[in-house]
Structures are given as structure tokens and as C-alpha cells.
Structure 1
């Protein structure tokens, strides 16, 4: 049965979506952008800083859903500019250094609120 996951430690969902959903075995997160839980948009920050904030948000959602970065099976990274891949990857690697998950990274035509990066994940939920 689908369960909605929500935490105040990440930006609230602002549309017809949830921060994450789970069936008790897998957790699917919504894309996380460099927006603070207090709604401060950091679209003007470096890609490294934007990646860090997006991953901090992702981590908070994972934890609320009973998972951690160690439980992540697949990540999708959307970049406004694929030329930012190396800078994003350097920061990303600090979150997934041991046994990293499968990952796709793509250049998107545009991202919400004009940000440079958006990150979503699928994780296994700890019982």
C-alpha cells in the first residue's frame, strides 16, 4: 500500500506531488532542488553548493522514509548544463563514496525555478 512521506527538514511539496512515496519496500523521492526548508532558493550558488543543498534535502527525505544514502539503489541527476557535471560529481561523490548507487545524469531543457541541478532517488527501505 502506498504511503506518503513528508518532512519539515526539506522543502515542502508545492504542487500535486509528495516529497516521497513508499510501499514499505522501496522509497521513491521527488526531485530535490537547492531550496532550503525555509524556502530560500539558492539558484545563484555554485553547482557544488546547489548539489550539496539538493543532496541534504534528499537525505532528509530518505531518513523520514526509513532509509539513508546507503540504501539508495538509483539516482537521477538533472543538470541545466551538462558542462556542470564534473563540479556536481565532485560534491555528489562525498555523499555516495562507498558502494555508490546506479546513476543517470542528463541535461534537462530547464529545471524548476531556474536552478542548475535537481536530484531524485529510489531507495530500499530498512525494515
Structure 2
């Protein structure tokens, strides 16, 4: 089997396409959740914490000298990223929990069994005839 044929078989399989669609949708959803956290959730949290902007928190290791910029440890950006991650994870958890709840509801509803097809009816009649002969 040539390498090109193997690649074609791999790339055209449904799982690869499904995965690609999932990644694209996931990236878009990530942007939505990031915007939600940055624009809607974090401003009230900042107000509750006294207007602290975490991204500005830093420790100056060495002051700027001439053209050389200051050397700083920006621990505030790290704190902000951890908070963003926690809130994003919480938002995704709530959404997945809601979807799972809907799925459970869907599964709990009893479904009527499908009507037997002609072949099943015929096989049932043959079984009953054989039972009657015994």
C-alpha cells in the first residue's frame, strides 16, 4: 500500500473529519467563553476586590536603565490566567452538565418498540408452527 493511499484512507475516515470539526468548534467556543470571562465575569470580581487589576501586579527585579527595559516578574498575569482558566473550566462544566441532563431526560423517555418487518413476522409464524408440531 502506497503512503499516499494510506494517507488518503486516514484523512477521509469519519473520525478524522469529526475530530477536525470538533477542534474548530472548540476553538470558537473557547473564544466565546474567554470573552464572557474577560468582559462579563471579571469586571464585577475586580470591583468586589477593590478595583485590583491582577495583570498590573509585578515585582521589579531591576529598574530600567537607559534604553534597557526594566526586568520584572509579572506574577499578576499568572494569577489572572489561573482565574480565567478556573472560570472557563467552571463555565464548560456547567454547559456539559446541562447537556448531560438533557441526554438523560431523552434516554429516560420510553420509546415504543419498532414494528416488526415482514421477515420478522414470517420467522415468528414459522417458529410458532414448529412449536405447534412438537
TM-score w.r.t. structure 1 length?
A: 0.24
